[in-house]
Amino acid sequence: MDILSMHYGKHCVPEWKWHVPVGCHPGFTLWSIWGGEGQIMLGKNCYKLSVGDVFFINYKKEVDAFQNEHTSLDVRYIDFTLRNPDILDDLPEHHHFDQYHFVLELFNRFRLAGERNNLTQMEIWLKALITEYQHITPTSAGAYTIKIDELCRMFQQHPQQQFDMSELAQNFSLTTDHFIRIFKQERGVTPYAYLQRCRLETAKTLLRMSTLSITDIASSCGFSDIYNFSRFFQSKTGVSPSRFRH
């Protein structure tokens, strides 16, 4: 890896925002969260930021980042350019490090080497950071078991609610596609399919046990009209809601 330039920096100021159009940065950035909360958009991928997040930004996508209200987002980063940039094409754009202290130490060692203008040491620590980022073991689905269990209980208790999958993914600090994949590994179905299953079971219970009208049951299960509810119910059970009730 032939490093042409490298620079350490940080952001920790009130009302901080960051925007970079596609292609307006000449190299790469290792961008790490040391404190605070916020969000970053890399193209269409939105990430909720927390301590332990590290991003590899190649500026092939538009970048937008901001901190949450009443909090200062503490960001430390290293900008660098390479003679052969294609060698990093396969790096993922995001990792979350549960054991973050080692990464912090590498960033600190790079910073101290820069303060001494020791380019050799700076290159050593930057390469160590990139290697650590490359070889982190991806977070398994099991690491999200508790949060997925909580989400499933929410689906069961509030089947009438309209859930936005992208917002749910942000709560997991995942992209929407990754969130759906992790959920499916845990539960065997997508989040939306699980929610629909909860709605179906709620509808069956209300049809058997309550005197609510079918219109009210449809509303209680998240359907805006009786037609869509009836079509959904019959597609899953083979009978209409009224026939199921009687």
C-alpha closest to that of 41 among 57, 23, 65: 65
Instruction: Give the CATH number for residue 100.
Output: 2.60.120.280
**Domain count along the chain:** 2
Quote the percentage of the chain above a pLDDT of 90. 52
Is a pLDDT exceeding 60 seen at residue 213? yes
CATH number at residue 175: 1.10.10.60
Query: Within its chain, how far is the Cα of 199 from the centroid?
Result: 26
Same structural domain for residues 11 and 128? Answer: yes
Name the residue with higher pLDDT: 48 or 141.
48
What value does the mean pLDDT take over residues 46-70? 88
What is the pLDDT confidence band of residue 82, given thresholds at 50, 70 and 90?
Answer: very high
Are 131 and 187 contained in the same domain? Answer: no
The last residue of a domain, from among 81, 114, 135: 135
Domain co-membership, 48 together with 127: yes
Does residue 84 contact residue 1 with C-beta atoms inside 8 Å?
Answer: yes
* Burial bucket for residue 179 (CB in 10 Å: 0-12, 13-18, 19+): buried
Question: Which residue stretches of the chain are H helix?
Answer: 101-115, 119-135, 145-157, 165-171, 176-187, 191-209, 214-220, 226-237, 241-245
Domain around 8? 3-135
DSSP state of 107: H
Residues 78 and 58 in one domain: yes
Same domain assignment for residues 101 and 184: no
| Total count of residues recorded for the chain | 246
Same domain, 167 and 218: yes
Boundary residue ending a domain (103, 135, 167): 135
| pTM passes above 0.75 | no
Over the chain, what is the mean pLDDT? 88
